[in-house]
């Protein structure tokens, strides 16, 4: 399970080093084979390839009324592999699509990761807090 956030700097080519705390697990789980895609909230999703393949098959089964969402998720998917230094290449199309610059945040979301621009992530979290807890979480205690 992946959790926690890591501040990461992309190099000039758009390569991102996977933090050591996740690198070994990803090498064991999926031999460093990952898939990136665009998320409608303005970040990138990063899945271990075998997890993405299950999601991809689910998304492919969506009805025609969800065709636009299929285009966003499937049409932007890119397979990547960690290199020997534990880096992946985040292609320019995906970086541009979600406004990633040199500084990014990699956030573990249990089965996958989100890759955010730090400012956009902070704004998203603040907007979530301002809306308040949804009723479905009314019985949840911290």
Task: With respect to residue 140, please indicate whether it lies within any of the assigned structural domains.
Answer: no
Task: With respect to residue 141, please indicate whether it lies within any of the assigned structural domains.
Answer: no
Residues 31-55 have a mean pLDDT of 97
Query: Which pLDDT belongs to residue 34?
Result: 98
Instruction: Look up the CATH number of the domain holding residue 23.
Output: 3.40.1550.20
Task: For residue 84, give every residue at least 6 positions away whose Cβ sits within 8 Å of its Cβ, in sequence order, or none.
Answer: none
| Residues 22, 109 contacting (CB under 8 angstroms) | no
pLDDT tens figures, 85-130 = 999 999 999 999 999 999 999 999 999 999 999 999 999 999 999 9
The total number of structural domains that make up the chain: 1
The whole-model pTM stands at: 0.94
Q: Which domain holds residue 73?
A: 2-134
C-alpha 83, offset from chain centre: 18
């Amino acid at each position: 399970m992946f959790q926690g956030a890591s501040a990461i700097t992309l190099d000039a080519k758009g390569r991102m080093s996977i933090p050591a705390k996740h690198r070994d697990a990803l090498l064991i789980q999926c031999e460093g084979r990952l898939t990136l895609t665009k998320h409608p909230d303005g970040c990138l999703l990063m899945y271990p390839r075998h997890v993405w393949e299950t999601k991809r098959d689910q998304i492919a089964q969506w009805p025609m009324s969800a065709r636009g969402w299929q285009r966003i998720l499937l049409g932007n998917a890119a397979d990547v592999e960690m290199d020997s230094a534990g880096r992946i290449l985040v292609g320019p199309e995906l970086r541009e699509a979600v406004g990633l610059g040199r500084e990014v945040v990699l956030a573990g979301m249990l089965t996958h990761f989100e890759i955010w621009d730090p400012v956009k992530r902070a704004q998203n979290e603040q907007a979530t807090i301002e809306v308040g807890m949804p009723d479905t979480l009314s019985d949840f205690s911290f």
